[in-house]
């Protein structure tokens, strides 16, 4: 057993593990305040992922670049996101979840703002690369923080609600683009200024506590207990006397671990399946959201109409995340996620087969809704697959593998569109989601079984 594991085992003889104390807490205003603060960072994180998508039609028009150039900018974003997913986990393991959350949010906000001042394609490429680093680093830290701060029984639901807040940024960014992009040759720059507003996060980050599980994993038990005691005090003031810890079953004691434990006999197969799942999911997700406005313009629709339809379709992201919040903890995420993936494949295929405006909007709304139901489900499904000691590493590896694979995704879509046409792009997107459903349904782990085993 590792040193960390021995410390954890000894500690349970004299103190109650953090997980037992947190999991018994009733849901109160404290948890909802955290939800809104975390929603803020995910709001502008997701805005920054999508700013290029909505700015691309105007960049093509006013910089006189082709679809292949937009593909390179998008690839730079995802290459940066791969690096960020690995860096974010390392940083948060070293300095703590809260400090890492603040650092990575300021990072992506700063470089999103730099996008607005790009003077040529090369400078925009670099700015997108660095923005991607910050975006992905924050996401990995945020997923881990949510899984460690909320009681296990409501973890998936709050992941959904936080994502719902974040996903409001997609229609918001779409409408900012609809307003700003057509106004002048420089209007697209304001879309990136909007994404840079994540820089305001340090002004509200004081509402967050450091993850007590991070303190505990570091062997800093006094600080872990102090944080939980403060949380218990706030919740006791709202909800009255709390359940006694002694009356509840304690969670399994987790041994320490390192990155290579992800490939051990215990975790190896799960790690590989999650990597493959995230590769297919990410390429299918961004194949649709990042390219619909650009492909509509390239296929002959006007810039104004393309942005208007894209803005309308993006509104479905909000009820999509709401569905995840409502159902995430009611059913096994294995089956919910695979079922949603199949629905996306079907609706995406129908979207690509029609040129009627009403059908474009209907199937586009359905795809957008189900895409954003799948995301919080996949976040929760991935984070709970690994024990605390390797949760950040496992989540970062799976999430980052998807981002790395999607670095070639935009180039692949540009090639498919150029050589095989518009409809072929949507066949590719549907295929990616069918593979996602296959990996999760036939080879993936049961989330219910994992939660029962750890309780």
What is the per-residue DSSP string for 380-420?
A: HHHHTTS-HHHHHHHHHHHHHHHHHHTTSHHHHHHHHHHHH
Cα gap 368→140, rounded to integer Å: 23
Residue 5 lies in a domain: no
3-state secondary structure of 255: coil
Residue 174 lies in a domain: yes
Q: For residues 140 and 399, is the Cβ–Cβ distance under 8 A?
A: yes
Cβ within 8 Å of residue 453, ≥6 positions away: 252
Residue 6 lies in a domain: no
Cα gap 40→29, rounded to integer Å: 17
- Compute the residue count for the chain: 455
Helical axes 268-289 vs 409-420, angle rounded to 10° = 50
CA-atom Rg of the chain in angstroms: 22
- pTM, to two decimals: 0.74
Residue 9 lies in a domain: no
* Angle ∠(305,310,312) on CA atoms, nearest 5: 95
Q: Encoding tokens for residue 47? A: 């805005």
Residue 258 lies in a domain: yes
- End-to-end alpha-carbon separation of the chain, Å? 22
Nearest CA-CA partner of 213 in 240, 231, 236, 201: 231
Cβ within 8 Å of residue 63, ≥6 positions away: 69, 121
Q: For residues 207 and 37, is the Cβ–Cβ distance under 8 A?
A: yes
How confident is the model at residue 12, as a pLDDT? 40
How confident is the model at residue 10, as a pLDDT? 39
Residue 31 lies in a domain: yes
Give the domain range for residue 119.
Answer: 15-453
pLDDT tens over the chain, length 455 residues: 343 343 343 334 446 788 888 888 888 899 999 999 999 999 999 888 888 877 887 888 788 877 778 778 888 888 888 888 888 877 887 888 899 999 999 999 999 999 999 888 889 999 999 999 999 899 888 988 988 889 888 887 887 789 888 878 887 888 888 888 777 888 888 989 998 999 999 999 888 999 898 888 888 888 998 999 999 999 998 888 887 775 444 444 445 556 677 777 777 788 888 999 999 998 898 788 766 666 666 656 665 666 666 667 777 877 887 787 777 677 788 888 999 999 999 998 888 777 777 777 788 889 888 998 888 888 878 877 777 667 777 777 887 788 788 777 777 887 887 788 777 888 899 999 999 999 998 877 776 655 555 44
Helical axes 121-149 vs 155-167, angle rounded to 10° = 150
Domain count, the chain: 1
Cα gap 38→163, rounded to integer Å: 9
Q: CB-hemisphere CA count at 13 Å for 397?
A: 21
Q: For residues 313 and 361, is the Cβ–Cβ distance under 8 A?
A: yes
Q: Phi/psi at 12 (nearest 5 deg)?
A: -70, -15
What is the CATH number for 23?
1.20.1250.20
Residue 8 lies in a domain: no
Residue 111 lies in a domain: yes
């Amino acid at each position: 057993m590792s040193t960390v594991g021995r410390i954890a085992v000894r500690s349970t003889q004299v103190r109650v593990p953090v997980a037992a104390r947190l999991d018994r807490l009733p849901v109160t205003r404290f948890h909802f305040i955290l939800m809104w603060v975390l929603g803020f960072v995910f709001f502008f994180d997701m805005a920054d992922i999508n700013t290029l998508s909505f700015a691309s039609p105007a960049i093509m028009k006013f910089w006189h670049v082709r679809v292949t150039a937009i593909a390179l900018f998008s690839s730079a974003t995802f290459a940066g996101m791969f690096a960020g997913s690995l860096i974010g986990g390392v940083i948060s393991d070293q300095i703590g979840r809260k400090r890492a959350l603040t650092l990575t949010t300021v990072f992506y906000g700063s470089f999103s703002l730099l996008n607005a001042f790009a003077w040529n394609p090369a400078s925009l490429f670099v700015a997108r690369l660095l923005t991607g680093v910050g975006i992905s680093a924050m996401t990995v830290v945020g997923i881990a923080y949510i899984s460690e701060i909320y009681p296990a029984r409501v973890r998936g639901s709050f992941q959904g609600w936080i994502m719902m807040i974040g996903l409001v940024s997609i229609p918001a960014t779409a409408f900012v683009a609809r307003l700003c992009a057509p106004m002048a040759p420089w209007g697209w720059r304001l879309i990136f200024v909007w994404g840079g507003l994540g820089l305001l996060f340090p002004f509200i980050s004081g509402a967050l506590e450091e993850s007590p599980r991070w303190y505990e994993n570091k062997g800093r038990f006094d600080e872990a207990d102090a944080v939980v005691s403060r949380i218990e005090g706030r919740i006791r003031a709202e909800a009255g006397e709390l359940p006694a810890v002694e009356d509840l079953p304690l969670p399994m004691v987790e041994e320490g671990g390192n990155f290579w434990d992800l490939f051990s006999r215990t975790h190896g197969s799960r790690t590989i399946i999650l990597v493959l799942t995230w590769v297919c999911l990410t390429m299918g997700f961004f194949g649709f959201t990042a390219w619909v406005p650009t492909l509509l313009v390239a296929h002959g629709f006007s810039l104004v109409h393309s942005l208007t339809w894209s803005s309308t379709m993006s509104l479905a992201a909000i009820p999509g995340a709401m569905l995840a919040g409502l159902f995430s903890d009611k059913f096994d995420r294995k089956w919910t996620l695979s079922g949603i993936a199949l629905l996306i494949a079907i609706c995406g295929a129908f979207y690509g087969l029609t040129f009627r405006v009403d059908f474009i909007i209907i199937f586009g709304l359905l795809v957008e809704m189900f895409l954003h139901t799948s995301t919080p489900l996949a976040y929760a499904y991935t984070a709970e697959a690994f024990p605390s000691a390797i949760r950040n590493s496992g989540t970062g590896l799976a999430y980052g593998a998807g981002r790395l694979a999607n670095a070639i995704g935009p180039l692949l879509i540009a090639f498919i569109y150029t050589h095989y046409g518009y409809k072929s792009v949507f066949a590719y997107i549907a295929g990616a989601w069918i593979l996602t459903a296959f990996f999760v349904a036939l080879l993936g782990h049961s989330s219910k079984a994992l939660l029962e085993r750890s309780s």
